Structure 1
Amino acid sequence: MVIDVLFLNTVLIFMLLISLYTDIVERKIYNWTTIPAAVLGVILNFLADGAPGLKTSLMGLLTGLAVFLLPFLLGGMGAGDVKLMGAIGALKGPFFVFQVALYSAVAGGIIALAVLVYQRELGAALKRIRTAFILLFSGSFCCRGLQNQLEVTDAGRSSFPYALAIASGILTAFAVGGGPWLP
Structure 2
Amino acid sequence: MARVPLLEPADLPEEYRYLFTENDVGDAHIFRAMANAPELLQWYLRYSTRLWDVLPEREREIVILATARALEHEYEWHQHVRLGREAGVTDAEIIAISDGTLEALDDRDAALTAYARAVALGDPRDGDHDRLGDHYDAETVVGVAMLVGHYVATARALDAFDVATEEPFVGWRP
Q: TM-score, normalised by structure 1?
A: 0.26
Larger Rg: 1
Instruction: Flag the structure with higher helix content.
Output: 1
**TM-score normalised by length of structure 2:** 0.27
